[in-house]
Structure 1
């Protein structure tokens, strides 16, 4: 990762490529059961991994651009307006006749995710040319973040034009993690959970995180961060292998916590902190998010989470 800079230096800009969704989040007042309705509070907000990461980055004072696709519908207008209020620069292709991607999540009273569904056809059928043309407009010193919601053709095309040692990726889900296979030699940093790592590597489900990270580095990844729920997250690069225990949290909502971890980590790297310190910043951002409702906590700011 980038060498350390003076703490006072301005952060590098970050370009986020990936999912732009309209999230519908249900918080049930009792455990969710099949074959019946459950009383719940419903909330609707912008979502998608790249969108959540971009919004948190903007709150953390990082110049941020979001590149993605939407439909030409009221949800897209609401998302664009929110991004502009957040301070994110949106480069969004509105596709006529398509619906903006939607994500539906059902949460039990303890904040755990009982079920989730996604409709992202607007992205999976998107033209690669839009992403490549927009990518070439990004500042030359920018970090690039991509999420595996993007189709393989777009991921591969972005990897071809990404600045050297500047490409960061998130695996998103077990189903989508394998989309990153061809990108591994070009990734400066890969973030994923243990199940996603086993899916990406076709490994056994009981493979230790240390073995998974070692294999990913052998395939060309510069640095790896593997999360395992409440267990310590595991980090490995060419110089060190560390485990970071997550801080204790009173969970309100798990939505967006992983995205906040990514954004906080990127915000640290953009300011010149080394990866291990940046991860601690990311963990603080995730903690703020776990203790709030929705993917972007109102309490998030750089002053709230940066190292003492």
Structure 2
């Protein structure tokens, strides 16, 4: 099958975790790890676990960190030949603090990806994956770490006009960047309840309310998660809901990316919408419980 193109951030995650509840100013013991991350790479890792072929369209630096990230991806069977490797931009990074009360704070430094701009999309117009006259028609996982300007141009440009486009905001702080993409006819949005509210300019009470609201705004399909509470998907006026399994939460970073990867993978195998929603929630539950290795 045509590989899934994972477009967006590939970087190093530096994550501090503690079993203690944390608030502003907390100073507690815990563990600090560094693992490969970034929304596009996390989705690619998830797809690879399901045996789905994928290619990265991203930007990394021609440095030790970038070389190591691409090698990690290759070792897991992910294509890296079309990634943009910059001689003058450093590899991006992400830092997060997680406590017993969930994600306390995070900072995403994806400035190199933003500065690379549409160079990462060159394979979509130079014949490797498509041209302006014959755009790529396969599945694309796109994340909101791209610059706001580039996302706006994607909504109007040739690159992804014919794709089965799957979109993730990357974080609530970047959800607004996706607004120009809302009316793309082939797009599916994967958002949590907070991100959905930011796109709507309101505070929906449930995932189902959020899914209906984004559909009314023109989104072709929407999938909304809400932590341990029921998730929802909406398409063509039909709203489905499902409740995540109850698990002990040991980590939160990457859960949404794992959900999205599982949802895409099982749909490629022919799963119906309700089954795909359940599969995504099951995979995310396994991730947050620590049953899926990073």
Provide TM-score, normalisation by structure 1: 0.84
Q: 1:171 to 1:259 in 2, by over 3 A?
A: same
Unaligned 5+ segments in structure 2 are 131-135
Select which of 127, 130, 133 maps to 2:117. 127
Whole-Å separation in 1 of the counterparts to 2:258 and 2:55: 16
Q: Does 2:98 correspond to 1:107?
A: yes
Match of 1:304 in 2: none
**Could you say which residue in structure 2 is the equivalent of 1:79?**
69
Is the alpha carbon distance of 1:34 and 1:239 closer, same or farther for their aligned partners in structure 2, counting shifts above 3 Å? closer
Q: 1:36 to 1:256 in 2, by over 3 A?
A: closer
- Distance apart, 1:141 and its partner CA: 4.6
SS, match of residue 85 in structure 2: strand
Q: Distance in 2 between matches of 1:142 and 1:62?
A: 13
Q: Verify the 8 A CA contact 1:111 1:253 in the aligned structure 2.
A: no
Counterpart for residue 147 of structure 1:
143
Could you give the per-residue CA deviations for residues 34-56 of structure 1, whole angstroms, max 9, x where no partner exists? 44643222211111111100111
The aligned runs of 1:1-308 (5 Å cut-off) are: 12-32=2-22, 34-35=24-25, 37-90=27-80, 91-108=82-99, 110=100, 112-128=102-118, 130-136=119-125, 137-138=128-129, 140-159=136-155, 160=157, 161-164=159-162, 166-186=164-184, 187-203=186-202, 205-238=203-236, 240-292=238-290, 297-298=292-293
Specify the SS of the correspondent of 2:290: coil
Cα offset, 1:19, TM superposition: 0.9
State the shift of 1:239 in Å. Answer: 5.2
**Separation in 1 of the partners of 2:19 and 2:191?**
30
Whether the 8 Å CA contact 2:43–2:257 is kept in 1: the answer is yes
Q: Please list the CA deviations of residues 217-248 of structure 1 after superposition, one character each: whole Å capped at 9, or x if unmatched.
A: 23332211111121100111115211110011
Query: How many equivalent pairs are there?
Result: 283
Counterparts of 2:146 and 2:83, CA distance in 1: 14
Q: Does the CA contact (< 8 Å) of 2:23 and 2:104 recur in 1?
A: no
Counterpart CA distance in 1 for 2:19 and 2:217 is 46
Q: Helix, strand or coil: the match of 2:225?
A: strand
How far the C-alpha of 1:163 sits from its partner, in A, is: 5.0
- TM-score by length of structure 2 reads 0.88
Query: Alpha-carbon deviation of 1:276?
Result: 1.9
Q: Match of 2:84, SS?
A: strand
Structure 1: tracts of 5 or more residues without a match:
1-10, 300-308
Comparing 96-105 and 158-167, the one that deviates more: 158-167
Q: Match of 1:247, SS?
A: coil
Name which structure has the greater RCO, CA cutoff 8 Å, separation 6+.
1
1:6 maps to what in 2?
A: none
Q: State the distance in 1 between where 2:76 and 2:152 align.
A: 30
